Amino acid sequence: TKNLLYSFALTSQLSYDDTKFLMALCGYEFDLANVKDVVMTYLLSQKVYNRSMIDAALTEYKVANLFLK
């Protein structure tokens, strides 16, 4: 699922382009009408991999269901 790919991308510190390529291989794409996709696009394109910053962004925009612990 996209949630698994997002979690993998953040924990592996993939770039936005690498994540976009991986998602395309799996039959997914970013949908900028979706809040979760917008937040993930921002985090990946700005290379925000700091866990507390990720958690703050996900909480701020009420993004859930990622496999991050």
Tokens of 65: 């269901």
Question: What pLDDT, on a 0 to 100 scale, did the predictor assign at position 66?
Answer: 86
Q: Which residue has the higher pLDDT, 65 or 3?
A: 3
Instruction: Give per-residue pLDDT as tens, 38-59.
Output: 999 999 999 999 999 999 999 9
DSSP 19-46: HHHHHHHTT----TTSHHHHHHHHHHHT
Alpha carbon distance 20, 26 (integer Å):
10
Q: What is the pTM of this model?
A: 0.91
pLDDT (0 to 100) of residue 36 = 96
27-41 pLDDT, tens digit each = 999 999 999 999 999
